[in-house]
Chains A and B, each alone.
Chain A
């Protein structure tokens, strides 16, 4: 008789199989991304680039070429991240993909700016003229350069309007319209890469690789960013079925449509919705599902924060709804541990409510924490209470204002008393923690969980603020 070694296992060793698969996919995508940068550098070297560093003019020119190659490669990576490609969404989730997209913006712009500045300087040195004359010579003398300069100007505009300070001054739709010019700026830069860039000259393998890259990126944008949402919206024919007031300014909207079971949405995910009503159709809203999706219908719960969200309670029944999605990894798919802690603040309760419905746990192995200013302004509490009773989860409402000037997610008195997440939920380290609320509050919860010894992979949160 052999010993059963399984009983000697300790700690939360159970990894959800979906997690492993997802991390492998994430690794692969990250490696591809880094390799794409290596490939463009290799293209430069294969052309004998390593030998072109002998004079100052050559150094500037060679560095300028490399900066342009790497910068453009990063731009294409950014476009892929924003293209809502299914593997990217599966591996990183929409919000994390967009966070990386955002963080690449400035480096890409600096490289492209560097490309222009270095090449103008290098050419000017080689010809013994000053940089302004050289810039003018390039603009007028070389093929496709006016378009390239236009692309650079557009790109500066796109990145500058995306700087946090500047972006706050715009409304989302205005900013987004400017942001879409990024597509144009990438497009108009292509001709000069193919005609002026000797590296990608006709008949070279590098040229085919480069063109294939563009075709692949453009293809995924057209298919996944534009075509697929249109096709799916047309297929499922979503309409507003009912609107229910949850609290002052907070409504639950139920949508019905055709073949909803084929949407393959899961609890905790969100869609980007567009309600085809007067004054609303031109805006798209990311709202989370507030109950588990089924063939009968989808439900979102929305608080009237933005200007248009205020018009949502007045939506007529039967209003057509188009959508992009479902998106998000705030789901059972992200699980790594046997226990669950769900933490919500304000309207962040919506995805928590749908998660609680379907996320897997043994009775007694889940805790729901609701954070609010006062016991009265929590939403969907009745539904949560019922669900917790049925599924064997513990529900706690933590009410009270946050102290001023202290970074904590808890009310003033609790923070003062030294309460932490670990004290509220002793089994914290063997739990998956799902957090949904405003960004600074979410960050505070994440910090508390991390200092309670929870590994990053067990902490799940999603950000909606743009």
Chain B
């Protein structure tokens, strides 16, 4: 290779990899920005949802709490596949602290969001993926999504189970924060995400949400 070819090739490669890096870090930012607020649980307890602004704050606080829990779950899940389920449970437990905020938020958004939405628990369709079936149920109260429960997770191969257990809590908290199935894909768990969100969307459709 001539010197100028080497120089140009290096320049091209660095820019291409740089663009990839940039795109990638945007994706990571979205999934991690939620973890930026620490101590969210503490603030959440003091919130009373009377105004839109307060509701907004509550939503943020709750999201932070959820995400913090999810991040913890993620870290735990990565350590051993066996402890993944336990970690997810831990995540659920720690989010209970933020439930006050969640209710507040639900109440606040209820008026703005679809008033027609029914309350109750709705089961989504079974979505088939290369790695097994996905199915979730969604709980809607007062026009807000208050809980998403996985009924079936991708389970073809132990690796797939580990991925699902890692991704499900993250997806749950993202969905609760966004109040829709329109959330960022979990990096490294593309198929789980697709199945999860499609099943969720069908449940939301059933609920008329």
A residues in contact (CB < 8 Å) with B:
23, 26-27, 30-31, 34-35, 37-39, 41-52, 54-55, 57-58, 123, 126-129, 134, 137-138, 141-143, 195-196, 198-199, 201, 204
Contacts and interface: CB of A to CB of B under 8 A. Distances in A.
A54 B161 CA distance: 19
B20 A35 contact: no
A26 B9 CA distance: 12
B50 interface: no
A46 to B, nearest CB: 4
B21 A38 contact: no
A41 B17 contact: yes
A35 B81 contact: no
B162 A201 contact: no
28 contacts: A26-B2, A31-B9, A34-B9, A35-B9, A38-B12, A42-B20, A43-B20, A44-B20, A45-B24, A46-B23, A46-B27, A48-B27, A48-B188, A49-B24, A49-B187, A126-B81, A126-B158, A126-B162, A127-B81, A127-B158, A127-B159, A128-B80, A137-B158, A141-B157, A142-B156, A143-B156, A196-B130, A198-B189
A195 B130 contact: yes
A120 to B, nearest CB: 10
Contact of B190 (A23, A52, A198): A198
Contacts of B33: none
B24 A46 contact: yes
Interface in B62-121: 78-82
A128 B5 contact: no
**Would you list the 6 A-B pairs with minimal beta carbon distance, nearest first?**
A42-B20, A48-B187, A38-B13, A141-B157, A45-B20, A46-B23
Given A46-B27, A123-B158, A198-B188, 9 more contacts: A27-B2, A48-B187, A49-B187, A50-B24, A50-B25, A127-B158, A195-B130, A199-B190, A201-B191
Given A45-B21, A52-B187, A201-B190, A126 B9 contact: no
Interface centre among B20, B25, B82 (most CB of A within 10 A): B20
Contact of B5 (A31, A39, A45): A31
Interface in B174-189: 187-189
B190 A39 contact: no
Interface of B: 1-2, 4-5, 8-10, 12-14, 16-17, 19-21, 23-25, 27-28, 31, 78-82, 130-131, 156-159, 161-162, 187-191, 194
Contacts of B27: 46-48
Output the residue of A30, A47, A129, A198 with the most chain B CB within 10 A: A198
A30 B1 contact: yes
Contacts of A37: 13
Contact of A55 (B14, B17, B79, B157): B79
Contacts of A201: 190-191, 194
Contacts of A55: 78-79
A138 B98 CA distance: 40
- Interface SS majority for chain A: helix
Nearest to A201: B190
Given A30-B5, A39-B16, A123 B79 contact: no
Nearest to A194: B130
Contacts of A195: 130
Contact of A42 (B2, B19, B25, B31): B19
A27 B4 contact: yes
Contacts of A26: 2, 5
A50 B21 contact: yes
A315 B29 CA distance: 73
Contacts of B162: 126-127
Nearest to B14: A38
Contacts of A50: 21, 24-25, 28
A51 B187 contact: yes
A418 to B, nearest CB: 34
B102 to A, nearest CB: 28
Nearest to B30: A48
Contacts of A129: 158
Contacts of A51: 24, 28, 187
A198 B188 CA distance: 7
Nearest to A42: B20
B10 to A, nearest CB: 8
Nearest to A143: B130
Contacts of A54: 78
A37 B28 CA distance: 23
A27 B5 contact: yes
A128 to B, nearest CB: 6
A98 B188 CA distance: 38
Contact of B17 (A23, A31, A45): A45
Contact of B24 (A30, A48, A204): A48
A69 to B, nearest CB: 11
B13 A52 contact: no
B12 A31 contact: yes
A127 B19 CA distance: 33
Contacts of A43: 20
A23 B4 CA distance: 11
A57 B25 contact: no
A410 B161 CA distance: 70
